[in-house]
Structure 1
């Protein structure tokens, strides 16, 4: 399988920016292809920032990646899994919600001793239209 090319930060920012009105509850859900692109690019960015195969991060129905260095799993369900919906994932990726809050509110299912992504999040910060910085 050929290696994936690195994510272009401008491409990531453009893809995620297209979802911001939805993330900020100012617009309906984006089209499937726009949403898929933002989720996939952001997950690939996480994969680049935290290389490894210890944690599987799932954002159904769009994508899943393995990341974080440490012991590698090879068969069956991995011991460290993070799963969430696209809205929560992109909110985490942009800092609109913090990791601890997402866990407390049960917006993220995280199992395993290494399934804490707070070190790598947010992946990018994009201010809301009023110029306010998103939550940390």
Structure 2
């Protein structure tokens, strides 16, 4: 069963709250962080439909996106995984992909598991 879509207004508000909390050295409440991550994953997938790359942000969600060869079973060949705070920072542009990779803040496997050009996400599409 597909997860219900997050309303753009609620998602953007959660992202804003999470970004402020991170900038202040803290973290937003778990429900706010979950909504922010899920909405940003939703925006990422909407902006580049496909199933070539899977982005995982445990424990809150995962999406497949990007056109190209897709998989139907098991672990996909191109996987990016990171924690919620890092994903929010990547998706909003307060952390670059290169900084995240250099700091070992993301795990990326596969020839297409590079989010340069996809983060920060294009929030104007939301």
> TM (normalized to structure 2)?
0.88
Q: Please name the residue that 2:13 is paired with.
A: 14
Q: Please name the residue that 2:41 is paired with.
A: 43
Structure 2 unpaired stretches of 5+:
none
Aligned equivalents of 1:58 and 1:74: distance in 2? 17
Q: Please name the residue that 1:133 is paired with.
A: none
**Which one has the largest radius of gyration?**
1
Structure 1 unpaired stretches of 5+:
126-136
Aligned equivalents of 2:15 and 2:91: distance in 1? 9
Aligned equivalents of 1:28 and 1:6: distance in 2? 24
Q: Please name the residue that 1:83 is paired with.
A: 81
Moved over 4 A (4+): 1-7
Q: How does 1:1-136 map to 2 (within 5 A)?
A: 8=8, 10-24=9-23, 26-123=24-121
Any idea what the Cα deviations from partners look like across 1:6-58, whole Å, max 9, x if unmatched?
863x443212001122221x153221111100000000000001110011100
Aligned equivalents of 1:22 and 1:6: distance in 2? 21
**Conserved 8 A contact 2:38-2:61:** yes
- Does the residue aligned with 2:62 lie in a helix, a strand or coil? strand
RMSD: 2.0
CA 1:27/1:100 → structure 2, altered by over 3 Å: closer, same or farther?
Answer: closer
Aligned equivalents of 1:6 and 1:13: distance in 2? 10
More helix by share: 2
